[in-house]
A and B are shown apart, each in its own frame.
Chain A
Amino acid sequence: MAFLEQLSGNLVQGLILGTVYGMATMGLSLIFGVLKVVNVGHGAFIMVGAFVTLFMFNTLGLNPFFAIPVAFLIGMVIGLFFYYTVIKRLLRAPELATLLATFSMGVLLQEVIKLIFGSEYRGYNWDIATIDIGVTVLPLTKLLACFGSVAIALILFIWFKKTRSGSAMRSVVEDSEGARVCGVNVDKTYAYSFALGIGLTVASGVLLTMFIPVGINPYMGGGYTLKAFVIAVLGGLASPYGAFFGGLVFGLIENGSYTIFALLPGVEPFALTRFLSFVILLIILLIRPTGILRAK
């Protein structure tokens, strides 16, 4: 019974973490959907968000929630900068070029952050309250991060469905040539989709720090790149909502499998969970690269 209680507790935690994972992957899927560019440096943009939070909390003494819009704007600016200097020139180049370019952008961001903040692990301490829900104890910060993610996902959903720029973006995802013929400014759509994708990713870094407040360093992004790929592929790679639900599924798998691996003797459960996420990635890519959550 103790095991079941622990499992259900961990699954609740997983679901809450999953909303943030989902939000952290929406930017990746958005950029792939619109520009057909895979952002291999994804994790580094998340890391930038984490450092924005750290700076605002430790130096300016501001609540991490204020960091969300700031991180989002910083991300938009970085996104626009990289779009006009690099991505725009590579849209017609072979895939190899954009893969390496986004990868190098990630490395560049890491090094810039390392130059400013140094490479040691840092953290901040934002302890407000905890809530006991029976099977597990939840820090309020995690719950707030979860609500924040859901709210951002909802805003994005409404924006997609109800605004002109949102529907322009959807039309480019469907068929960029067709959209161009119908008078959609495809180049501009590319630019703001990329900026929006990066903005969302950097903002998600803020929310993620509420789960790992002490694990912030310039190289923290690598693990999230891999996780984001698993999640994006779960959700069909080109759909931001698929990604959001992929995040929920991934959070459940990660925490559920950790609980089970912890029962096995002679293994390191944490490392095995990360191995499992790689195996899941390969299996989905192999049997259904369009994603398992996407009805086709």
Chain B
Amino acid sequence: MRHQIQKYYPLIPVLAAYLVLFLIGQNVSGTWQLVATLLFYCCLGQAFNIFLGMTGYVDFGYVAFVGVGTYGMALSISRLAQYDLPGPMIIILGFLLAILLSTLLSVAVGAVALRLRGAYFAIATIGVNEGFRYLIEGARIWNGSEGIIFFSQLNEILGSEAASSLSNYWADIITLFIAALAAFITLFYMRSKIGFALTALREDEDAAKVMGINVTKFKILAFITSASFAGLLGASSWALKTPYVFPPEVFEIHYTIEAIIIVLLGGAGTLLGPVFGGLIYGLSKYFLSIIVPGFQLLIFAPVIIIIIVAFPEGVVGVWKSKIKNEHLKKIII
């Protein structure tokens, strides 16, 4: 039993970081907005890391899952508001729909794209984002390019006061829980057969196959898990905070870039990496937007290139290799 619990010690620094963030936001006035943004980035990194970090496959269409998650919540609120259901139930249904839609999309994409490897996989996924956006716009699904605005319905089902506290406070708390849950699942995978199989396939897919590992099964598992967290994140951090969705905004490839930067900066495949990545990225973006508004990417693009060339293991990767203390070694992974 003790051994079982010890396995999960590495969660301590992750949860501690989130707790500190939460306390800062609670107690230092005027910081909640920034904390909410940082939580969003940590959560995005934590979710994306499950796929990119653990399998080594680059999914350029990742934000599509965040997008359909946003749609899940939007559809639930805008379509169910006319029935006499309790408000919280509609929100919960929204989250379930977000998971369902992102899972369905990831199964559809994964079934095709995960048969491909490396460059071919990346090429297949780079279109998912745009492909899905144009399907919604072209076939006029879910209001097509007009999008869904559900501000009034959100007020209607919860009352304007509760709706505003949900948007400004509780949505961020939910994001915090999603991030913590994603970290837990990451560690659970790392500590089980799944993690070993994924490591084997990341290092050498052919060898892993020869050893009798069902690589496709584990790839799809990581892909779906990662996608459903993205869906949840879209529902909480996007739909509940800004009650409208437009296809060009939620399927913006920009967010995939951010997710990639966060995971690489922190260290792909590490548990603590997304936390560091999210904090460093979020804070530097925040301060850069004050110093050089509109040109953050001009700074970040060369930074990614430098990271890839100079230290591909990321912050946590480098830190991990420098640790001498045995106890610390066990919890920084």
Binding site for B on A (CB under 8 A): 32, 36, 38, 40, 86, 89-90, 93-97, 99-101, 103-105, 107-108, 110-112, 114-115, 222-223, 225-226, 229-230, 233, 261, 266-275, 277-279, 281-282, 285-286, 289
Q: Mark B89-128, 1 if CB is under 8 A from A, else 0.
A: 0000000000000000000000011011011101110111
What's the interface size class on B, roughly?
35 or more
Q: Mark B282-313, 1 if CB is under 8 A from A, else 0.
A: 00000000000001011011101100110010
Contact B122 A108 (CB under 8 A): no
Contact B309 A90 (CB under 8 A): yes
Q: Does B139 contact A (CB under 8 A)?
A: yes
Give the interface SS of chain A, mostly helix, strand, loop or mixed.
helix
Q: Name the CB-closest residue of B to A41.
A: B301
Q: Mark B225-268, 1 if CB is under 8 A from A, else 0.
A: 00000000000000000000000000001000100100010001
A95 to chain B, nearest CB (A): 4
Contact A229 B305 (CB under 8 A): no
CB < 8 Å neighbour of B138 from A93, A275, A286: A275
Q: Does B58 contact A (CB under 8 A)?
A: yes
Given contacts A222-B130, A226-B127, 10 further A-B contacts (CB under 8 A): A96-B56, A111-B297, A111-B301, A112-B298, A225-B126, A226-B126, A229-B127, A269-B138, A271-B134, A286-B116
User: Which residue, of B57, B58, B268, has the highest number of chain A Cβ atoms within 10 A?
Assistant: B58
| CA A22 to CA B268, docked complex, whole Å | 37
Give the interface SS of chain B, mostly helix, strand, loop or mixed.
helix
B164 to chain A, nearest CB (A): 33
**Among all A-B residue pairs, the 7 with the closest Cβ atoms:** A278-B131, A271-B138, A272-B138, A108-B301, A111-B298, A271-B137, A275-B134
- CB contacts (< 8 Å) of B309 on chain A: these are 86, 89-90, 101
Contact A100 B138 (CB under 8 A): no
Q: Name the CB-closest residue of A to B115.
A: A286
Q: Name the CB-closest residue of B to A261.
A: B138
- CB contacts (< 8 Å) of B139 on chain A: these are 267, 272, 275
| CA A60 to CA B130, docked complex, whole Å | 36
A13 to chain B, nearest CB (A): 20
| CA A266 to CA B138, docked complex, whole Å | 9
Asked, given contacts A38-B119, A95-B118, whether A281 binds B304 with beta carbons under 8 Å apart, the answer is no
- CB contacts (< 8 Å) of A96 on chain B: these are 56-58, 268
Q: Does B145 contact A (CB under 8 A)?
A: yes
- CB contacts (< 8 Å) of B56 on chain A: these are 94, 96
Interface pairs (12), CB distance under 8 Å: A32-B119, A95-B122, A96-B58, A107-B297, A108-B298, A268-B144, A278-B127, A281-B127, A282-B112, A285-B113, A285-B120, A286-B116
